[in-house]
Structure 1
Amino acid sequence: MAVRLEAATFEVADAEATARFWAALLDRSVVAEAGGALLPGSATQVGLRFVASEREQVGPRRLHLHLTSTSLEDQQGTVDRVLELGGRHLDVGQAPADAFVVLADPGDNELCVIEPGNRFLAGTGFLGEVTCEGSRDVGVFWRDALGWSLVWDDGGETAVQSPLGGTKVSWGGPPVAPQAGPARQRLDAVADDLAAETARLLGLGATLVRELDDRVDLADPDGTTVGLRAGS
């Protein structure tokens, strides 16, 4: 099995500014790419990619990020840092009593700073979770695509995690909003053998969307875009 999760990818109006924000927040380097920038991940932390685009967001966002905290002071410090770097508070209908804090980055992407003591994200690292719109079928699809463990499977909600630990990728289960137009958020993966792995993912339930110069775009079983490129 030779597919590696490379990045959670976001289309934004200003890819350079959004990448600088996340690089400062996560203490990562920025790698310039044609039309955007990549913040490489590690064996246990998922990478982030920002692509310049003027397309409007249509329908709900397909994924957002969760950051972890070690104490209430640490949580507030992260919130303050987000605001200092150009983020803002975001109202998505959360209750005043909710212990997590919802914010948006300069590219208008939602992120949550999770309260300390959250058992689900214990030991995941600072970028604790990429949480997505998706059914149980999508969680199973990514389990099989990546060869990761299905670490949560309850009531249609699923999550996968590398055997090495680190960032979890989760799907919230039903109801799943249908994909409305081209997605501005996707998951990007790398394949040792692009043709063979494309065929394997199609066999796991993906569908072919388009073939580009640098990657193949697939859709997962719920219709959310998956970018797959050749690499090692």
Structure 2
Amino acid sequence: MATRLVQITMKARDDSALGGFWAEVLGWELSSEGPGVTNLEPKGFVYPDPVAVCIDLVASAEPKTVKNRVHVDLATTSAAHQAELVARLKELGATLADVGQGDDVSWTVMADPEGNEFCVLDWHDPVQDTGPIATVVVDCADPRAMADFWGEAMDWTVHKVTDHNAVLRSAKGVGPYLQFLRTPDEKTVWNRVHLDIRPYPGDDVEAEAARLQSLGATPIDLSGTNVTWTVMADPEGNEFCLLAPR
């Protein structure tokens, strides 16, 4: 058994408006599976496919109070493209953000209209053929431990592991990378952005949940809610959702 990353979920005060922003940024299409939920996928995309990690936006009244521990990096192909993309993002409602990156970094840190941080990468980064999202980045304390857990939790290939970061990508060699980046910040609140993973068709989701627990995941009890999927936390407490096989 194994899982794979299929989407990220982001809480939003206004899922439709924020979805419209990200659809413009990525050139993706909008849909909705019900009130308060906006889905973003590439045009012509057949879900799920490792060529893209989709985005679900879910309406939430919870305020954003701290820097997100999960964010996306946008790909660029040249200095001119990076400058043009930053300018277009500002026109769409994004702002420059300071997360302590300093002045000597080659990427640009920005925030979407609801304050969710993201980066516009330097064009020298090796992110060819990833699509508009180059990397999904998760802050962590121990990249090596995260590589151990997520490398077993999913069938993605571990490409790099250091004390600074760990990098994984779909075994098919397509789509964005997943990076666990060492940061000094401690996790203090429920993540506003989280990972969603799925087993493959025919797999037993309860058996998969048990396997993830044996690797170090912790189940989160949401009994009394209308949640029909399994919510868990990785060994550093980052919440993620185990969806039904598909």
What stretches of structure 1 move > 6 A for 4+ residues in a row? none
Q: 1:54 aligns with which of 57, 61, 66?
A: 61
Structure 2 residue 100 is matched with structure 1 residue 93: yes
Q: Distance in 1 between matches of 2:91 and 2:183?
A: 36
What's the offset of the Cα at 1:86? 1.6
Name 1:180's counterpart in structure 2. 188
Asked if 2 retains the 8 angstrom alpha-carbon contact of 1:178 and 1:222, the reply is: no
Q: 1:189 aligns with which of 175, 191, 197?
A: 197
SS at match of 2:221: strand
Q: Distance in 1 between matches of 2:124 and 2:53?
A: 22
Query: Alpha-carbon deviations, 1:143-198, whole Å to 9, x = none?
Result: 111111111101152111112222011111354x3331322121011234221111
Q: Distance in 1 between matches of 2:183 and 2:107?
A: 22
Q: Distance in 2 between matches of 1:81 and 1:60?
A: 23
What's the offset of the Cα at 1:31? 2.3
**Equivalent runs, 1:127-138 vs 2, <5 Å:** 127-134=133-140, 135=142, 136-138=144-146
Structure 2 residue 37 is matched with structure 1 residue 36: yes
Give the letter for the 1:12 counterpart.
A
What's the offset of the Cα at 1:56? 2.3
Query: Alpha-carbon deviations, 1:45-101, whole Å to 9, x = none?
Result: 211111111212344311111011111111112112211222111122233332211
**Equivalent runs, 1:1-232 vs 2, <5 Å:** 1-34=1-34, 35-40=36-41, 42-119=49-126, 121-134=127-140, 135=142, 136-165=144-173, 166-173=175-182, 175=184, 177-191=185-199, 192-211=203-222, 213-232=227-246
Q: TM-score, normalised by structure 1?
A: 0.91
Asked if 1 retains the 8 angstrom alpha-carbon contact of 2:38 and 2:57, the reply is: yes
Q: 1:174 and 1:80, CA in 2 relative to 1: closer, same or farther beyond 3 A?
A: closer
Asked if 1 retains the 8 angstrom alpha-carbon contact of 2:134 and 2:177, the reply is: yes
Q: What are the ranges of 5 or more consecutive residues in structure 1 without an aligned counterpart?
A: none
Q: What are the ranges of 5 or more consecutive residues in structure 2 without an aligned counterpart?
A: 43-48
Aligned residues: 230
Q: TM-score, normalised by structure 2?
A: 0.86
Q: Distance in 1 between matches of 2:4 and 2:157?
A: 14
What's the offset of the Cα at 1:223? 0.3
What's the offset of the Cα at 1:123? 4.0
Q: Distance in 2 between matches of 1:48 and 1:62?
A: 16
After superposition, the CA RMSD in angstroms is 1.9
Name 2:46's counterpart in structure 1. none
Asked if 2 retains the 8 angstrom alpha-carbon contact of 1:215 and 1:228, the reply is: yes
